[in-house]
Amino acid sequence: MPLGESERWEKTYSKFCGLETDFSDDVPSLLSFNIDNGRFDFVVAPLINPSYRPSLVDERDSDSHVLPFAGSDLVVSPLKWRLRVIGKISSWIDLDSEDETLRMNSETALKQEIAWAKHLSLRACLLPTPKGTSCANYARCVNQILQGKLEMEVIFLLSFTRTSLHQSLIFLLRSHSAMKLWLRIPLRKSNSEYPIDSWEIWNSLRLLCDHDSKLSVALDVGSTLPLPSKNSRGRWLGESVKAAIISTDCFVPIDGLPYLQKSHQDLIGSFFHGHAYLGAKGLTRSDSFITFIIISGIPLDDLQTDFGAQKHPHKPYLDYLSNLFEKMEPLSEQERIDFRHRDCLCTPLQPLRDNLEAHSYEMIERDSVKYTQYQRAIAKALVDMVSDEKASELTIVLMVVGAGRGPLVRASLQAAEETGRKLKVYAVEKNPNAVVTLHDLVKTRGWEGTVTVISRDMRFWNAPEKADILVSELLGSFGDNELSPECLDGAQRLLKPNGISIPFSYTSFLQPITSSKLYSDVKSRNNLSYFATAYSVKLHSVARLAPCEPVFTFTHPDLSRKPNNQCYKKLLFNVPSNTGSALVHGFAGYFEAILYDNVHISNEPTTETPNMNGWFPIFFPLMKPLEVHPKSTIEAHFWRCSDSTKVWYEWSVSLPTFSPIHNTNGSSYWIGL
């Protein structure tokens, strides 16, 4: 039974649960027993007999000797090799050993096994955990593989150079391969003298390999309790974890069945959560989002053993994980809509410079919670401005500046109807295409005499009368990043001296995060200018390393008469003592806004408005990731700059080390006035 299969899910659904197996030279039987009978999705199998050592091969027989591989490539179809087998590189390999024979054997064996795996077109290979604290030579060998430098070396190293496999192997090596490497890293690693943070092992190797996106983590979940702290475990959520290896030792037998303790359940649940999306035609899967689950080890003795000839001894573990997955809350409708946007870099909108298209309006207007909050704020403002006794006498002048296709006009009219107040509405919009829709709404909704459409930029429109209430939705992911301050500064002359602006104020927030996925995506663009660009991102595979800190606050109407909206803020973030070391790949940006009185909207994690989805966070990347340690302080600097044509941000770090100032003079990213 594929993991997660139940009446709720279509039969095409699978969460990709595999089993780590011993070496077998009978691959068809291995797959038949574990996949057809055991219902696992794949096996993690050694590619070569574990007794093999290159130095034991008689060089005189090298022309005819065939390495002890698990059968030829013909024993199963190419599709089965790719989808059903993850190659397991020999665990005896020690690439940093001080024993030169072992080190040379390890280098030769690694290259031979990787060459065979590429020949089979496997999608991934599981690399063994580095043996010591140093992994420089391990990283060098892996980096050669990642960079595709194997070809000529392998031709001379392979001891079956005149077999029938030779030509096809060389052809495969010369062609591009998308095979990934998963480095096996224990969740907790220690030796007899002092504890070692296993994250440090991973970090050392991936830094030496220059954050290659083809290198990921297979996190080996140990049975030792207690597990690392929640903050320490949380670091891995921002790393490229492609597999979670669960040993049978993690389970305890209860009534003859295996169970995970609560701490292990929570950990596995964090890898399950949100990695699957059930669409209209079944599961939509992407290797970018899947965390593979791998069961490893010998079944517990206390489990029920009456399996019969056709039963698999590891089947109870698969059934348990299936049930654990089924108990999770399914994705909401909005989460399903947002699924495809997870960790995808998008340049924020520029609504002042550009006229939005229909699909952009459609996405903005889909956020019903936001407009409900606006309606509440407008209703409160109407009640405060007009008493019940004068509700039938006074007419409030309300201007929606940046009216778009009219959602705030509707919210305003509904608030007036709800409170029994009278409104006169001006819908001011600079986009001539949206104005067409506004005029149609006036006709079809019966708004004549109540709503007047103005096809002008709010900053330059001379209104026939002043407004009691000025309503806008000019906020961006970072609050002010879509030029709400500049627009409302230009429009506040339309407001009466005692008038109300909705929103009243907004504050931006920043937070250091780990996100290997986002960093790799920016790096893959092969241009440093992309590291000086801010992106709108539906954050998912991230680790938040410290609480958010406020950055810039703007209030409307602004009576200070500042000549501009340039700002600077120095920010201090303290890494908790129980987090462990981590890499900062950049900063996540959010905002919180007071619409009116106690009505708020926010996408900041601790105050987030439930079910509001109109704004993804913003991401400010760092050119060079910043390594931080427990109890350390991150000192960051953010500037909001402007000139006569544009507004832009600049950012840098000065603790624990210095970074360049990003986006100087708005060279890569700016918002046009």
How many CA within 13 A on the CB side of residue 313? 12
| pTM of the shown model | 0.88
Give the tens place of pLDDT for each residue, 415-466.
999 999 999 999 999 999 999 999 999 999 999 999 999 999 999 999 999 9
Task: Please state the rounded mean pLDDT for residues 591-599.
Answer: 98
| CA pair distance 464, 558, nearest whole angstrom | 22
Contacts 24+ apart (CB under 8 A), 653-658: 653/584, 653/622, 653/626, 656/626, 656/627, 656/628, 656/629, 656/632, 657/626
At 415, which amino acid appears?
Answer: A
Residue 422 marked as a ligand binder = no
pLDDT in tens, 357-405: 999 999 899 999 999 999 999 999 999 999 999 999 999 999 999 999 9
**pLDDT at residue 3 tops 70:** no
CA distance 181 to 488: 52
Give the confidence band of 162 by pLDDT, cuts at 50, 70, 90.
Answer: very low
Q: Would you give the distance in Å from CA 548 to the centre of its chain?
A: 18
Signed CA dihedral, 643, 646, 647, 653: sign only: negative
Of 20-29, 96-105, 156-165, 273-282, the least confident: 273-282
Mean pLDDT in residue range 165-191: 66
Q: Give pLDDT, residue 333.
A: 72
pLDDT at 337: 72
Calculate mean pLDDT across residues 71-98.
93
User: Is 457 flagged in the annotation as binding?
Assistant: yes
Query: What does the pLDDT average to over 71-91?
Result: 93
Percent of the chain predicted with pLDDT > 70: 87
For 545-556, how does the pLDDT look when each residue is reduced to its tens digit (9 = 90+)? 999 999 999 999
List, in order, residues 6 or more apart from 190 with CB less than 8 Å away: 196
pLDDT tier at 279, thresholds 50, 70, 90: very low
CB 508 within 8 A of CB 480: yes
Half-sphere exposure of 371 (CA within 13 A, CB side): 15
Instruction: Please report the pLDDT score of residue 63 as a whole number.
Output: 57
pLDDT value at residue 191: 54
**b/e per residue 213-251 (b: at least 16 CB within 10 A):** ebbbbbbbbbbeeebbeebbbbbbbbbbbbbbbbbbebb
Residue 11 has pLDDT above 50, yes or no: no
Identify the CA nearest to 417 among candidates 457, 450, 459: 450
Kindly tell me if the per-residue pLDDT of 57 is higher than 50. yes
Closest CA to 384 of 370, 396, 392: 396
pLDDT per position as a tens digit, 490-522:
999 999 999 999 999 999 999 999 999 999 999
Q: Is the pLDDT of residue 331 over 90?
A: no
Tell me which of 190-204, 343-357, 611-625 is least confident: 190-204
Query: Chain-wide mean pLDDT for the chain?
Result: 87
Helical axes 100-119 vs 136-146, angle rounded to 10°: 20
Report helix, strand or coil for 178: coil
The tens digit of pLDDT for each residue in 298-307 reads 998 766 554 4
The SS3 call for residue 462 is coil
Residues known to be catalytic: 473, 482
pLDDT per residue as tens digits for the range 111-155: 999 999 999 999 999 999 999 878 999 999 999 999 985 444 444
> Mind listing the domains of the chain with CATH numbers?
17-340 (3.20.20.150), 358-473 (3.40.50.150), 505-672 (2.70.160.11)
Q: What is the CB-side half-sphere exposure of residue 9 using CA atoms within 13 A?
A: 24
Confidence of residue 61 (pLDDT cuts 50, 70, 90): low
Higher-pLDDT residue of 52, 331:
52
- 131: exposed, middle or buried (Cβ count in 10 Å: 0-12, 13-18, 19+): middle
User: Are 653 and 635 within 8 A, CB to CB?
Assistant: yes
361 assigned binding-site residue: yes
Q: Which pLDDT score, from 0 to 100, does residue 223 have? A: 80
